[in-house]
Structure 1
């Protein structure tokens, strides 16, 4: 954003300013928001949820304090206004009732990913399935600890029509295992950061190598992977 660059500013005052900057960047690159490129968000809402008051406190922006119901409406308004197709951790990890309401409202049009909610754990995922919570799970191999448990989590999600997003962690190496797993388990989605830093580029390069090896048998599902 020109205003931020000219004034040597870092960050934005309001959350929606960040979305607007992303949309401007998409257009500046010659693409169409909502058609060529859609937005996937990792909101990490557990970080500003107050367990005592059961409120969501926007302490770094507007200062607003919202209930679970108000947070659901908040996300609904954003999804109506912007080309958002995926929201990760849109509510706190143990706000199960809130997640039910969010899923009921947006689950047929937006991918609702549980990271902190499910922590790659089949027991928490099974609870979510039974309660009608979310429609996608973030998969982190070294979060759950074993490949066996990772595969079980993806299979449980697939059996229940949940999507799976193979993911890196915030502290990473150049290991490319998750690229192989994303293809092997047919997740169709991988979250491994922007095309910068060797630990991230390594994963994308591995995906390119896999694509070359698979040749014509490689299928990119595009937006169809979301099943929305």
Structure 2
């Protein structure tokens, strides 16, 4: 049997387009997300990072979430035609709803970064911003089936402060990582907030263990999903 007839080489025929939604209204954080995208995507992929107007500047409470989610869903609904979508927050905000009406994949930062962390080591830790985020993140790890191998620690640095790099942010994040390593046995660290985007490289150097930027992980997976989406639409079986 000639197996080559089943192997199709897909060449990119057009630019792949990804929409990345920061569900809060902090434009400084959206700029960090755009920078993260520009670091990780390859040629032939264009990323547009956007945020809604009028929502909370950071999502740190249930009230913040309830205000931000409908705005994020509306933003997704008004941007049809992308090859993939990414939610740039460490939550499942809008993902379930968006998967019911978008005709392209939507990637969440939690799913993407947890999937990557599991490739490195059996135990990993999530370092997030404030303590109020911890219960929700723990609930998500239970949904993903990794609660028994994943710890969650808050650094005590707010989302907006993390994004603007306040003076003591590094020390607090370092302390949370050390606690995850020394007390929880974490061998890999996930940065569990959009406000922590862009810090992974420096933290790897300081701590000597793998550190995963959850936003970069989601965008990287979004690029793969976008390529897959393009291929599925353009696929023609060989004769």
Q: Do the structures match in fold with TM over 0.5? A: no
| Higher RCO (C-alpha 8 Å, min separation 6) | 2
